[in-house]
Chains A and B, each alone.
Chain A
Amino acid sequence: MITTNLDIETIREDFPILKRKVNGYPLVYLDNAATSQTPKQVINTIVDYYSRYNANIHRGVHSLSQEATDAYENARRKIQNHINAAQPYEIIFTSGTTDSINLVANGFTSFLKKGDEILVSAMEHHSNIVPWQMLCERTGAILKVIPMNHEGEFLIEDYAKMLSKNTKLVVCNHVSNALGTINPIEQIIALAHEVNAAVLIDGAQAAPHIKIDIQELNVDFYTVSAHKICGPTGVGILYGKEEWMTKLPPYQGGGEMIAEVTFEKTTYADLPHKFEAGTPNICGGIAFGAAIDYMNSLGYDAIASYEKELLEYATERLLSITGLKIYGTSQHKTSVISFNVEGIHPYDIGTILDKLGIAVRTGHHCAQPVMDYFNIPGTIRASFSFYNTKDEVDNLVAGVEKAKKMLG
């Protein structure tokens, strides 16, 4: 029996989707690292927005516009407080982590020259590789890969040796999406700053599990997607340190981001609006705020300790299956288990699990270099959230056993 302060059965009542059946079986949703499910508190916020105060923000003098603006800006402050950023205008609303990373990569075009170096970890999601490759193509900068070990851990000593006066940027995820490894970002940031390199941390996979303190981390850029922490898809944030964000040129041109426009010259708005061209995902931003309220109402400490127990239980149970191998075996992990069963393609197991109503992710998890490192075509990834139960872990284990029997 798992001991927790969280009342999981009551929490599950908050998530209407968890009651549905898939292929005739009760849904066992273990693809939380891809997207988390949405509690009714967030769904109600979305319904409330469109039912009561849907309006464009920042411009209208009418009441609805004022209400929507207040709610949107209030969400920005909620996010600021949640991550303890110094200023609300350091929070830029984006369409998600990918957009946030591209914003920074685009902005750095004018800062880099031939021979400058960008260091990237070996366990990145494609979204934290490709924008930097594109930046390198534009500027002649060089992308260098910080290695990892067989446990899927970031090699801090190798990294320290790679840093030099040529290093202009270091980019790394806080938590690996494919392996679940929690990276030592405090050290990564501090070491980069010794050579005056900026640091971008992709926090997409960390946000649902770890509460961060931006000022304590002293990170330059940090990204979050709302849909990974019980919010809606299509919205996220870029935290950017004020000194960087004032220097960084605008990403997209349009309405909202200007101070004055003539055909001869346009001056840009102040932060954060300089980076928020066009009508944003207003409802999404407000719902993101509601999601953060929801997460905090449960408490990150309680979530982390419950998920840790769930991870330990699932790891032990899965390892009882003969031929099952787990990829990503660091002691510092979130509740993600990437695995394969000897002699069986992950796709085959994923297909059978789906038939049993169990949702997992199979494939390369948009992290092909990680799969190449382990010399595998992909893995099955089960990622657990605070609303998952020990019974669901048992279902997964029984499902894998069944698949093994059918496919072996």
Chain B
Amino acid sequence: MSIEEIQNEIVEEFSMFDDWMQRYEYMIELGKSLPLIEEKYKTEDNIIKGCQSKVWVHAELEEDKLVFTADSDAIITKGIIAILIRAFSNQRPKDIIEANTDFIDEIGLKDHLSPTRANGLVSMIKQLKLYAIAYQTQLN
């Protein structure tokens, strides 16, 4: 599936919920399905700065696709990064770089995008894209 198709799928899933509590409960569930980063990659270098909680992300190229693993010490943050990874993992770096992230608004996480939010959703997206840029250069 393309990034866009996955994003649409996520939006559809979230549209089933009537209130914030169900959305957050689902997000917490998704956090549990996060492809976990190997302990050895939980280094200072792999911590995403700008988050109130710790978030580690690791990227690896498998053939021409980028595979992300991650973890966080906060459950909601784990849910957020799980959603991002579901959309961006196993995709070609070029597609990751070009992908837009409007689906975040549509699933009701817009307030997490505000710069006053210390959870660093913006930093997470930026970091995933930076990995994509780095590996794209490698592929070229």
Q: What is the interface of chain A, defined by CB distance below 8 A to chain B? A: 23, 344-348, 351-352, 355, 362-363, 377-378, 406-407
- A347, B76: Cβ atoms under 8 Å? yes
Given the known inter-chain contacts A347-B52, A347-B74, A348-B76, please indicate yes or no for A355 contacting B28, CB distance below 8 A.
Answer: no
Partner of A362, one of B20, B21, B24, B52: B52
Smallest beta-carbon distance B118→chain A, Å = 6
For B20, give the chain A residue with the smallest CB separation: A355
Smallest beta-carbon distance A139→chain B, Å = 31
Q: Does B9 contact A (CB under 8 A)?
A: no
- B20, A347: Cβ atoms under 8 Å? no
- A348, B75: Cβ atoms under 8 Å? yes
Smallest beta-carbon distance A342→chain B, Å = 14
- A355, B73: Cβ atoms under 8 Å? no
Interface string of B10-52 (1 = CB under 8 A from A): 0000000000110011001000000000000000000000001
- A352, B24: Cβ atoms under 8 Å? yes
- B53, A347: Cβ atoms under 8 Å? yes
Question: Which interface class (under 10, 10 to 19, 20 to 34, 35 or more) fits B?
Answer: 10 to 19
Q: What is the interface of chain B, defined by CB distance below 8 A to chain A? A: 20-21, 24-25, 28, 52-54, 73-77, 118-119
Which chain B residues border A378 with CB–CB below 8 Å?
A: 52
**Cα(A400)–Cα(B67), bound, Å:** 36
Partner of B74, one of A23, A348, A355, A406: A348
For A378, give the chain B residue with the smallest CB separation: B52
Given the known inter-chain contacts A23-B20, A377-B54, please indicate yes or no for A363 contacting B118, CB distance below 8 A.
Answer: yes
Given the known inter-chain contacts A23-B20, A377-B53, A378-B52, please indicate yes or no for A351 contacting B118, CB distance below 8 A.
Answer: no
Smallest beta-carbon distance B43→chain A, Å = 17
Partner of A407, one of B28, B52, B119: B28
For A364, give the chain B residue with the smallest CB separation: B52
For A354, give the chain B residue with the smallest CB separation: B111
**Cα(A377)–Cα(B75), bound, Å:** 14
